Structure 1
Amino acid sequence: MGIGRRTLLGAALGGAVSAAWGAGDASAAGRHRTVFVAGDSTAATYATADVPRAGWGQALPAFLRPGVAVSNAALSGASSKSFADLGRLDLILAAIRPGDSLLVSFGHNDEKSEDPARYTEPWTTFQDYLRLYLDGARARHAHPVLVTPVERRRFTADGVPYLSHGEYPDAMRDLAARTRTPLIDLTALSFDLWSRLGPEPTKDYFLWLDPGESVNYPAGVADNTHFQAHGAIEVARLVAAHGRTLPGRDFAAIHNAHIPDDVLVWPPTRPAES
């Protein structure tokens, strides 16, 4: 990580490895707390065949103390609706225990109006589905946290960044305020970071690879939505730095600008899809 990137990272923080599915199955007595992640491909844990692609949920353990487990259930392609309709929320609610946390981050796939299995409308069905996560966690004396969707890499031809998620972040902010749910505004935080970095440096965060650079992407790739290890780590840093209710935040790691890419673990298969 270069000096310029470290400087931008410190400014973005403002002073402020993934466990497999089922990590929260410890007994309630004397057990450590677990942070569950319900989300989409931007948060998911990826496998060895996907390296260096990674999600921020995969990197989150780097910023939590060892006594806190992360159960990353984020599923590639999921929306708030499809995740619940597929029974993935039920799996979390069967495993979550009093005192645990549930990070809820959707929006990328809720926007897909051409797909009725995933599409939700920002001010109606999107909020309705999100309430299922909040109510389910609270019924089990766990602590839900809403996380607005991380921004894509979007710049005009003149290098000016622009937002891409429409009204979904505002709808989540509104729901958080009305239900008194903690909110991590990852849309705003990531947009600020990408804006500071600019069009070319952000390619080191997103899954941009030249042909021959990775055996897993021999033809190269130019992906403005998903992250490579650098990006996953820095987005996870934003989540941990601003997730004030998360248990076991490791402030030394949060403020350490030299977290290496190899802190990430890529399992043999994607745990949420296994």
Structure 2
Amino acid sequence: MTSIYLAGGSTVCSRQRSMAPMAGWGQTLPLFLQGVEVVNCARDGAGTKSFMERGHLGWILENIKPEDLLVVSFGLSDTEERPGPHAEPFGAFQTNLRRYVNEARDRGAHPVLVTSHERRVFDRFGNMRRPLVMHPAAMREVAVELTVPLIDLNEWSTGWWRQLGPDGTKSLFVHLAPGEHPNYPRGAADDSHLRSHGALECSRFIASQLLVQGMLPAQFFRNLETGFDADQVVEFLDDAVFDQMTKTRVAGGMK
């Protein structure tokens, strides 16, 4: 069976029940695929560098097979001014992306680059800002340089966020009033991470692009035009299962 390995950070990773309704697009991607295995190795807070240092890329490379896909989506944590995940867009970030691409190709697998969806940032006049613009631009440059398929989720999401505006986008992100959800009794105002509906529509776009760009045969796709009630169809991992997967999906086994 063909496998799709996902390497990425917090906007991609599958979330545990204690984090619901926050969801990553890698969590909802299987709703649009069939006959193919989605192996979501993305981790909260991971950047291109820390994902490698923690052994997650190594685990993927130990398991990936010829003709599998390695879908790489970073950029959110790489922008942060913290020593672990930070990577300059036209420096270390691009160098790291080249390694992901080349390591996948060395194993006969097919790399795919996906830009991070944009953050929800509007000024007081309702104009949308683009804090992630440099890292998606750097990823596009690597895609051209190495002739790698690119799915521009950043550009697509920017158009959607602008259409909905500062109020409409709150329903896509983890904006919750106090008492609205038991996992967030004090409420939440997260402008970086999506709720189930936002994640689901991002994964629908990504699956559509995998089809349109010919990265997988048509028989592997389903539900691309199907309307979903995200609260009913999006599944969350049991917390114990999530913790076990986080510990074991590193190079060489449990660490």
TM-score > 0.5, shorter chain as reference: yes
Residues 83-102 of structure 1: per-residue CA shift (max 9 Å, x gap): 01111100001111111111
SS at match of 2:186: coil
Residue in structure 1 matched with residue 252 of structure 2 by the alignment: none
Residue in structure 1 matched with residue 3 of structure 2 by the alignment: 34
Q: How does 1:111-126 map to 2 (within 5 A)?
A: 111-113=79-81, 115-126=82-93
Residue in structure 1 matched with residue 54 of structure 2 by the alignment: 86
Q: 1:42 to 1:51 in 2, by over 3 A?
A: same
Answer whether contact 1:42 1:55 (CA < 8 A) is retained.
yes
Answer whether contact 2:173 2:194 (CA < 8 A) is retained.
yes
Answer whether contact 1:147 1:184 (CA < 8 A) is retained.
yes
Answer whether contact 1:111 1:120 (CA < 8 A) is retained.
yes
SS at match of 2:111: strand
- 1:133 matches 2:103: no
User: 2: distance between equivalents of 1:181 and 1:265?
Assistant: 31
Residue in structure 2 matched with residue 202 of structure 1 by the alignment: 169
Residue in structure 2 matched with residue 228 of structure 1 by the alignment: 195
TM-score (norm 1): 0.84
- 1:70 matches 2:43: no
User: How far 1:217 sits from its partner (Å)?
Assistant: 0.6
SS at match of 1:198: helix
Alignment identity in percent? 41
- The letter of the residue matching 1:214 is H
Q: How does 1:119-198 map to 2 (within 5 A)?
A: 119-198=86-165
Residues 46-88 of structure 1: per-residue CA shift (max 9 Å, x gap): 11111111100000001112x1111000100000011011111
User: 2: distance between equivalents of 1:34 and 1:97?
Assistant: 8
User: 2: distance between equivalents of 1:263 and 1:70?
Assistant: 17
User: 2: distance between equivalents of 1:133 and 1:221?
Assistant: 34
- The letter of the residue matching 1:273 is T
Residue among 222, 235, 251 paired with 1:265: 235
Residues 187-206 of structure 1: per-residue CA shift (max 9 Å, x gap): 10110111111111211111
Large movers: runs of 4+ above 6 Å: none
User: How far 1:258 sits from its partner (Å)?
Assistant: 3.2
Q: 1:199 to 1:99 in 2, by over 3 A?
A: same
Q: 1:33 to 1:203 in 2, by over 3 A?
A: same
User: 1: distance between equivalents of 2:16 and 2:26?
Assistant: 13
User: 2: distance between equivalents of 1:246 and 1:233?
Assistant: 20
Unaligned regions of 5+ residues in structure 2, if any? 248-255
Answer whether contact 1:33 1:247 (CA < 8 A) is retained.
no
Answer whether contact 2:33 2:222 (CA < 8 A) is retained.
no
SS at match of 2:223: helix
User: 1: distance between equivalents of 2:7 and 2:206?
Assistant: 14
User: How far 1:252 sits from its partner (Å)?
Assistant: 4.8
Answer whether contact 1:182 1:245 (CA < 8 A) is retained.
no
- 1:54 matches 2:19: no
- The letter of the residue matching 2:231 is D
Count of aligned positions: 241
CA-based RMSD of the aligned residues comes to: 1.5
Unaligned regions of 5+ residues in structure 1, if any? 1-31
